[in-house]
Each structure stands twice: as C-alpha cells, then as structure tokens.
Chains A and B, each alone.
Chain A
Amino acid sequence: NAGVTQTPKFRVLKTGQSMTLLCAQDMNHEYMYWYRQDPGMGLRLIHYSVGEGTTAKGEVPDGYNVSRLKKQNFLLGLESAAPSQTSVYFCASSYDQAGVYSNQPQHFGDGTRLSIL
C-alpha cells in the first residue's frame, strides 16, 4: 500500500547545483502531477503528464524539467537551482483527468522539502 512515494524527503542544495526529484506510484495511474507549495500560496502546478511519454507545462514551469519514461515514475529536474526554488514539492497521481471523481481522487505523496542556499 505504498501509493505515491517521493524521494528524497529533504535536500539542501547550493545555488547552481542540479538535482532530480523522483515520484513513484504503484496504482497504475495515467495522470501524474508536480506541485510546489509556498507559504500563503497554496499548491501551484509545475508540470503534469497524462500518460507515459507525455509531459505538459503547468502554471509555474520555468526552471524545471520533467520526464515520464515509465508509467509509474515522474521525475522533476532542477538544472541550475536558485534560491527562489526553495519550497516543498508534492507529487500526485490520478486514475483519470484531474482526479475530480471522489472515488478516484488525486493521491499525493508526503512531499520533498528543498532548501537552496
């Protein structure tokens, strides 16, 4: 019953470093999402995927890249980290679009807390 697993849970980077956040889901969901959560700003959509091999930009995509080479994995990359990317990152997945049906909602991981100095 793993659901959505995010790794790592915490990371501190220096400005200019690169890293990849991994999201894995074991529910055979087609749709996957990456959000960032900042104080007072809710959850903002970075990128999303509607199936293996597809990706699309969300609300705040600049500075991030994503890949969905396998259906169960959605990777979020920071090529050159900036202090403005300090945030808590959440991955989510859903069976169908947006997870708007109460019996098939979006399932979230527990987040990755990223600090960039």
Chain B
Amino acid sequence: GQQLNQSPQSMFIQEGEDVSMNCTSSSIFNTWLWYKQDPGEGPVLLIALYKAGELTSNGRLTAQFGITRKDSFLNISASIPSDVGIYFCAGPRTDTGRRALTFGSGTRLQVQP
C-alpha cells in the first residue's frame, strides 16, 4: 500500500531551536504535501513539492522532495511557541486515481517558551 511513515512521532523542544522531521514510503510519490494542524482545528497546507530534489521554503519552513521520490523532509528554523501542532505529510493515493490524499500519522511538536 501507500503508507507514509513519519518520524519522529513527537518532539519537545525549546523556543529558538531548529526542528527536522521526515516522511518515508515504500512507494514512489510524484507530489509531496506538508500540512500543519493547530489544536482544535483542521489541517492547513504549508508547502507543496512537485519535483524530485526540489527544495521549497515558506518563511521559517523548508521542505525537500527526496531524490528517490520515496521520502520528504520538513525543517523549521528558530522555532516559536505558535509552531506547536501536528505536522502531516501527504501525497496522492493511486488507489483513488490520485483523486484523494493519503496522510502520514503525524509528528506532534511542542515548544517550550
């Protein structure tokens, strides 16, 4: 199947630290998406990646599309308390003709002020 494995499952860091998380799959993806879910809300798209090797930034966030197309990475620099939440990777599901997404299990980030 197209399972997405995220690590770490959770992180507890100090404000100002940099954060790295990753997402891997046994299947090839042609698109990688990174979402953030704030407590009590639905996920919101942060970054989209469309090409192997692509590096894309959104403010303090940087994401990379792995060269093998089986992984992706998200980095957050100089973390702040509002970075708290769950970060999900996602990609198009081939079992739906790419009409829907599959999501990873998420990385829960907590930031100590």
Contacts and interface: CB of A to CB of B under 8 A. Distances in A.
Chain B associates with chain A = yes
Most buried by A among B47, B100, B101: B100
Interface string A77-115: 000000000000010100001111110011011110000
A40 B105 contact: yes
Given A45-B100, A45-B102, A100 B92 contact: yes
Interface stretch (B11-19, B37-45, B66-74): B37-45
Nearest to A108: B42
Contact of B105 (A41, A92, A101): A41
B48 interface: yes
Given A100-B33, A108-B43, A43 B88 contact: yes
A100 B100 CA distance: 9
Contacts of A48: 96, 99-100
Interface string A49-79: 0100000101100000000000000000000
B6 to A, nearest CB: 8
A59 B103 CA distance: 11
Contact of A42 (B42, B45, B88, B99): B88
Contact of B101 (A101, A102, A106, A110): A106
B59 to A, nearest CB: 14
A85 to B, nearest CB: 19
Contacts of A44: 103
Contact of B98 (A35, A98, A102): A98
Interface of B: 4, 6, 9, 31, 33, 40-45, 47-48, 88, 92-93, 96-106
Q: Top 9 A-B pairs ranked by shortest CB distance?
A: A108-B42, A105-B45, A102-B48, A43-B103, A42-B105, A97-B99, A42-B103, A100-B31, A48-B100
Given A42-B4, A100-B33, 15 more contacts: A31-B100, A40-B105, A42-B88, A42-B105, A56-B96, A59-B102, A90-B42, A98-B92, A99-B101, A100-B31, A100-B48, A100-B92, A106-B101, A110-B40, A111-B42
8 contacts: A33-B101, A35-B103, A42-B4, A43-B43, A90-B42, A100-B92, A100-B98, A100-B101
